[in-house]
Amino acid sequence: MTYALTWLPKVLRDAGLNVAEQSGWKTRGHGNMGAVKGVMCHHTVGPLTGNMPSLNVITNGRPGLSGPLAQIGLGRDGTCYVIAAGRAYHAGSGNWQGYTHGNSNFIGIEAENTGYDRGPKADPWPEVQLDAYQRCAAAILKKIRADAIMCCGHKEYRLPPGTKVDPLFDMNDFRFKVAAIMAGQAPRISKIPSKDGDGRPTLQRGSAGLHVRDLQAILGLTVDGSFNGATEAAVRQFQRDHGLRPDGIVGPRSWATLLAA
């Protein structure tokens, strides 16, 4: 059965977001949604490295809770993975603005993040991911004709209070930025150039070839020419260490810093 949220990919792409439709997403869900009233924000509490390592869990569930666990997974590079067009088990019992059926009334977004803001598992939110998070929520709210107040954090919805802490960032500030996007007052998405001034291509997860080999050699990795999870993790760490946006994408600024290191 094809479920109701088949409009998700187009709405997100029209907002300028990168979208990856997962196999079988149109028929995935625990039945159909009810009336969609808002968006609920989560973080995955997943691994520290990788763009969307929690994708399989969000899609297929975990022991004691079958998937899907959200309609959308948000990677660290800002990619929106569309997982389900039906209802997802993401909310639990709670209340937001009088709505108490979270799974039926709210589209769930699970953003990849360890859920730690300090210590060895600390996972600072990449600017590109937060920007995509806000734009994703804004696009959905505009589609369903809801105000920014209908974007809530799991920690705000879930009862009793204090049951959940996700997401860790300030939801009032998040909603303020969502409202600005909806009002057309936010800057356009900044696109990374496809190559630098010397013709080196922008590289990211899935890239392959001689330039990936050069990158791996600079980072002291096994050189195989495949931009895999280990390469992405090393790129993110290099970016953090050098004050760059830790998005795992090697564009002109990252290339320049790598070559100067």
Q: What's the CA angle centered on 35, arms 33 and 40, to 5 degrees?
A: 75
Domains, in order of start, for the chain: 8-182 (3.40.80.10), 210-260 (no CATH)
pTM of the model: 0.76
Quick one: pLDDT band at residue 215, thresholds 50, 70, 90?
very high
Phi/psi of residue 240, each to 5°?
-60, -45
Residue 16 and residue 132 in contact, taking contact as beta carbons nearer than 8 Å: no
Residue 86 and residue 29 in contact, taking contact as beta carbons nearer than 8 Å: yes
Query: pLDDT tens digit string along 12-69?
Result: 999 989 899 999 999 999 999 999 999 999 999 999 988 899 999 999 999 999 999 9
- Cα separation, 11 vs 190, whole angstroms: 19
Comparing CA positions, the residue from 6, 12, 36 lying closest to residue 133 is: 12
